Amino acid sequence: MRRVLLFATSLLLSAAAGFQAQTPVPADAPYKNAGLPVEKRVADLLGRMTPEEKAAMLSGSGWMESAPIERLGIPAIRMADGPMGVRSWAGSSAITSAANAQVRVLATSFPSGVCMAATWDTDLVQREGQAIGQEVKALGRDMILGPTVNINRVPLWGRNFEGYGEDPYLSGRMGVAYIRGVQSEGVIPSVKHFAANNEEFERHRIDAHISERALHEIYLPAFKAAVEEGGVWNVMSAYNKINGVHAGENAPLLHDILQREFGFKGFVISDWGSTYSTAPTVNAGMDLEMPGGPPMVTWMANPHTVESGNGDGWLTADRVLAEVRAGHITQGTIDDNVGRILRVIFLSGIFDHPHTAGGAVDTPEQQAVARQGATEGIVLLKNEGSLLPLDAAKIHSIAVIGPNAAVARTGGGGSSLVRPTYAIAPLDGIRDRAGSDVHVRYEMGVGMEGENAELDSPDARAKMLKAATEAATQADVAVVGASRARAST
């Protein structure tokens, strides 16, 4: 008899959910009223959603799109990679950064985070954030994956250039300014990577053992400032483990510290391929798994993706609902996860005023912000013999050396590469400024790892070094464009 009653109850609930899904939504539904408080709109909309619709929102629908619920008019959040400008959203960095990439997004390439930090100018960084927000909207997107506020603790970390250096206070000031600028345009910034993401090698498997004091004094202050002062709408979790638990399912980190201690009201998004469970991830406070949909399936089918340590597909609707039925996740928890996403959709304005593509990008005003940042970020450590600025009356020959001198590097590698409408390499700038009266000679000196296999042999390296040495010896001045560290994504 009990089984019959349970079965009947299940049928009634299913019928009720089906009826709710078919019921037309009134044009005057409270959640559609932009004049109502956000929390009332969220509560009303949650009450109209089926369990299936709620579960669907916890996983993306594409490479950089959240899942829309068309029946209720809930839009997809359309993202773009960052943080130093708007990047292509067409796939992984291996696809979008390739020289033969089929989809190219052109935008202003802003200076690296560490360069902007060297300006000590929060107003300038806020203007940078605002300019980036303008370009995100102009390209029809809603969210930029930045800023990076991880602390530079490992010199070889492939993304040191993205962050704001090794000082927690400075990183916090810059991060808050960037966030305020982006959000002033109704665009969602994603402060990343929460937390202690300080190494690229084996980043999915590395376990950072950190004391509570070090965590709160070094690794968390910038995130705390982003939440408490910047009012940031989104936080991206990190790939790595912290004290034995992956960041994306780390309840002490996401629930206790981020939500309860910092008072974070927005939603948490996974870094791409950084989820490894269903119930622990949802219960910890991870709200949106990325990527999702067919792109996720294709990506995870690649053996290299799994070998690298990526995890994904854990928060699909079927898996989440199965855990709810098993009693491992409560409906109240799902409501909180989804409510956080809805809150940001309303706060940012994208529900009421969707962003449409077609605006101006890489405008003179936006370029001026980038140029000012690059100029003010220059740090002169030493000027022996008052060599700088170079005196055109005394200088007759310049040797320009280095693989970075002849190429405009508009990104440090991996997911940081921004493609501007135009770029000027240092060598071209020097030649233009020097004019016809100064002889400028260029030598590579050393090849960039992975760019040209012919330059990686011992003979080729010896020849390049010899040529560069001769050029420097024969010139009045040598300008060296130092190399860069490689980043994986």
Q: Is 271 a catalytic residue?
A: yes
φ and ψ of 385, to 5 deg: 65, 20
Pair 397, 476: CB distance under 8 Å: yes
Residue 60, C-beta contacts closer than 8 angstroms, at least 6 positions apart: 66, 67, 288, 289, 290, 291, 292, 293, 296
Give the burial class of 111: count Cβ atoms within 10 A of its Cβ; 0-12 exposed, 13-18 middle, 19 or more buried: buried
Which uninterrupted H or E stretch holds 442?
A: strand 439-443
Give the burial class of 482: count Cβ atoms within 10 A of its Cβ; 0-12 exposed, 13-18 middle, 19 or more buried: exposed
Alpha carbons 129 and 126: distance in angstroms, whole number: 5
Pair 186, 135: CB distance under 8 Å: no
Alpha carbons 218 and 149: distance in angstroms, whole number: 11
- The separation between CA 297 and the C-alpha centre of its own chain, rounded to angstroms, equals 22
Active-site annotation holder among 271, 287, 335, 362:
271
Q: What share of the chain is helix, strand, coil (3-state, %, to 5)?
A: 45, 10, 45
Q: What does the angle CA 181 – CA 275 – CA 345 come to, to the nearest 5 degrees?
A: 35
Residue 299, C-beta contacts closer than 8 angstroms, at least 6 positions apart: 92, 273, 291, 305, 310, 312
Which uninterrupted H or E stretch holds 188?
A: strand 188-194
DSSP symbols for 204-266: TT-EE---HHHIIIIISHHHHHHHHTT--SEEEEPSSEETTEEGGG-HIIIIIIIIIIT---S
Length in residues, the chain: 489
Alpha carbons 299 and 82: distance in angstroms, whole number: 21
- Cβ-based neighbour number of residue 221 at 10 Å: 19
Q: Which of 259, 126, 151, 277 is nearest to 210 (CA)?
A: 151
| Catalytic site positions | 271
